[in-house]
Chain A
Amino acid sequence: MGEVVKVGMADLNIAKPPQTIRTSGLGSCVGIILYDEKINISGMAHIMLPDSSYARAGLLNRAKYADTAINDLMDILSKEGVAKYRIKAKIAGGAQMFKFSSNNEAMRIGPRNVEAVKLILEKLKIPIVYEDVGGSSGRTIEFDPMTSLLEIRTVNKGVVQV
């Protein structure tokens, strides 16, 4: 087994075989994997918010927002020789971790992250091959660019490979 490339919260990176790429504990955040099956290169982003207009201060961590993160990941993958028309996506996350009686907007952030990610991928004409989104459980995901398999681990529900 090769090295595991770790992607933190509000972070993104790419992996090539024999590496795999992994992000832990997706709650309301969404993990996006963009991959090219032909040349076996994959990228992963762990986004926290739907779009960069949510940013308040001047400093912008582009990996934190669905729009900027996906765009940046596409740029990096292009430089690695990935063909845009071959890119496919798998996504996971966007849970609602707590059930709250309050109507606070932040409580719906998981579903809104998922909507934003889907919209952006649709605009870019990137097909979503697999999605495991919503619910109320956290997820850890690991992608293998060699096999294009995504492993999803959920507390109390075990591990699936898709």
Chain B
Amino acid sequence: MIDLSKIGPQYLDILREVGNIGAGNAATALSQMLNKTIDMNVPAVRVVPFKEIGDTVGGEETVVAAVFLLIEGDAPGNMFFMLPVNEASRFIQQLTGDPSIDFSDEPLNEMASSALNEVGNILAGSYLSALSDFTKLNLQPTPPAIAVDMTTAILSFGLVELSRAGDYAIVIDTEINEKNNDDTVRSKGHFFLLPDPESLNKILQALGVPLDG
């Protein structure tokens, strides 16, 4: 069993590299969808204790719109993509051309939800296919589900399986930069890859960096 708190920085670098390639693919797909240049990169991959996980998205109670997917196949786990609720609204307004979309409304606009689901799907799919290419592992996302709520409330849902083996998660920060004519708008998108305990070992082994115990 891997103790995530003792994972070496070299392993995180490899995960970051894979993340960057996945982000590159996702950016291409999103750029085509939105018909504008979208840049994505992974500034950091971090091991975060559960207690501090809310802070990674700007505070435990920050309201976010989140897309959740289960990873099935050789290395099961969970994935989240989340955006602060205002940014999610702006993003989907642009995508759908409907300026009335607001993710803080309840019940959620169906069109808005399915658009955000689609974005989450594309991002997750891009990440997973990059990871699959590198590891030769078969990784498939389930259909996405969406929720708008407090960061920690949402994340805890994905930490259940992981929490059976430890108190740490791997967070892949993702920055989305939208290039307008004059300036760049930076969105604080966060991507959480939460492989099940055994899966991380499989992934690292497949990447050629086996861990000792």
Interface residues of A (CB under 8 A from B): 8-11, 24-29, 48-49, 54-57, 59, 61, 64, 95, 97-102, 104, 106, 109, 136-140, 153, 155-156
Identify A25's interface contact among B70, B143, B148, B152, CB under 8 A. Answer: B152
The interface residues of chain B lying within 8 Å CB-to-CB of A10 are 50-51, 163, 167
- Chain A binding surface SS class: loop
Report whether A54 and B166 are in contact in the complex, using a CB–CB cutoff of 8 Å: no
The interface residues of chain A lying within 8 Å CB-to-CB of B60 are 24-25, 140
- Chain B binding surface SS class: mixed
The interface residues of chain A lying within 8 Å CB-to-CB of B153 are 25-27, 95, 97, 137-139
- Contacts A98-B68, A102-B142; is A56 near B164 (CB within 8 Å)? yes
Query: How many angstroms between the C-alpha atoms of A139 and B156 in the bound complex?
Result: 12
The interface residues of chain A lying within 8 Å CB-to-CB of B63 are 155
The interface residues of chain A lying within 8 Å CB-to-CB of B149 are 25, 27, 97, 137-138, 155
Query: How many angstroms between the C-alpha atoms of A54 and B165 in the bound complex?
Result: 9
- Contacts A8-B50, A97-B157, A104-B70; is A24 near B150 (CB within 8 Å)? yes
Cβ contacts A to B, 9 pairs, < 8 Å? A8-B51, A9-B53, A10-B163, A25-B54, A26-B152, A26-B156, A97-B147, A97-B153, A153-B61
The interface residues of chain A lying within 8 Å CB-to-CB of B145 are 98-100
- Contacts A10-B50, A101-B143, A102-B142; is A27 near B156 (CB within 8 Å)? yes
Q: Does B197 touch A at the CB level, under 8 Å?
A: yes
Q: Does B175 touch A at the CB level, under 8 Å?
A: no
Interface residues of B (CB under 8 A from A): 1, 3, 50-54, 60-61, 63, 68, 70, 104, 106, 142-143, 145-157, 159-161, 163-167, 197
| Closest Cβ–Cβ distance, residue A155 to chain B (whole Å) | 5
| Closest Cβ–Cβ distance, residue A135 to chain B (whole Å) | 11
Query: How many angstroms between the C-alpha atoms of A153 and B154 in the bound complex?
Result: 15
Identify B61's interface contact among A24, A56, A61, CB under 8 A. Answer: A24
Query: Given contacts A24-B60, A109-B160, could you give 16 more A-B pairs where the C-beta distance is less than 8 Å?
Result: A8-B50, A9-B156, A10-B51, A10-B167, A25-B60, A25-B61, A25-B156, A26-B153, A48-B156, A56-B1, A56-B165, A56-B197, A97-B154, A137-B149, A138-B152, A153-B61
